Amino acid sequence: MRKKGTYLLLGFVLAASAFTYLLARPEPPAGAEQSASADPSTAAGQNSMQQMMRSMMSGVVPAGIKPGDLPAPGSEGAKLIAKYCVQCHNLPSPSMHSAGEWPGVADRMFQRMSMCSRMSGMGMMRNMGGMGMKGMMGGTSGNGMMGMMNVKAPSAHEQEIIVAYLKEHSLKSIQPGALPSPRTKGAILFAATCAQCHALPDPRQHTAQQWPQVVVRMHKNMVAMGKSVPDAATLRTITEFLQDAARAKP
């Protein structure tokens, strides 16, 4: 009886780990590979997992972008992040992080995908079905947790391509002291606000006409991620600073 209880506890721990690492899978883009399964109970399990993870991760992951909006959308790097990243969360924009930040971020994601892929491939959850976990995990038919954890990890070569792509199209960062008029109110508010989520972006990567839309998008992301959101007056000051410091319109 004690041994059975130990297996049950282990199962709950593993399930909790899986829930932490796996986010909701959005609708795959046209032409993207999909996991084929004719079993409607598996599809129902995946939908339940999506709903649960959306609830769990609400306020953590910002809204994603469409594959066609990626930089160089036809490149191999763009195709690979559209293939692998959406298994667990929204498709990220390469400009979410700087070139210096992306390798570390990507490595954490690769490790999580690899872990989930191994858990599924080794039949870890399936084996627990014979240890009193059959009902919770969906038995041995490939449904339940096994059906939900159909996560594939990129090869080492694909990982190199992904990181290179993300770095090439990353956020162009700048040190606070290198900002134009770094001691002005706009520069100080800009640095303090943006540093909550990522490296400080160089104001010259957008034109004065583009910055208002970028600020609105970042504001939405901050709300979604539960960050400290500046008031309207602060947003105006930041936007005016960015427009003054922006690159000239081509």
Running along the chain, 250 residues long, what does each successive block of 10 average in pLDDT? 46 48 41 44 49 48 82 97 90 91 95 85 52 41 49 95 97 94 96 91 94 93 88 97 88
Examine residue 160 and state whether it is found in any structural domain, yes or no. yes
Does residue 8 share a domain with residue 92?
yes
Last residue of a domain, one of 139, 168, 197: 168
pLDDT tens-digit readout, 32-48: 444 444 455 445 554 54
Q: Which two tokens stand for residue 217?
A: 């998008």
Does residue 238 share a domain with residue 141?
no
Does residue 105 share a domain with residue 62?
yes
Examine residue 125 and state whether it is found in any structural domain, yes or no. yes
Please state whether the predicted TM-score (pTM) of the whole model is above 0.85.
no
Examine residue 50 and state whether it is found in any structural domain, yes or no. yes
Last residue of a domain, one of 168, 187, 221: 168
Does residue 107 share a domain with residue 82?
yes
Rounded-to-integer distance, Cα 199 and Cα 95, Å: 10
DSSP letter at 74 equals T
Q: In which domain, by residue range, is 199 found?
A: 176-245
Does residue 155 share a domain with residue 52?
yes
**Burial of residue 53, with CB atoms counted within 10 A of its CB: 0-12 exposed, 13-18 middle, 19 or more buried:** buried
Structural domains in the chain (count)? 2
Rounded-to-integer distance, Cα 181 and Cα 175, Å: 12
Examine residue 250 and state whether it is found in any structural domain, yes or no. no
Angle at 180 (CA atoms; ends 177, 182), nearest 5 degrees = 45
In sequence order, the 6+-apart residues with CB closer than 8 A to the CB of 79 are: none
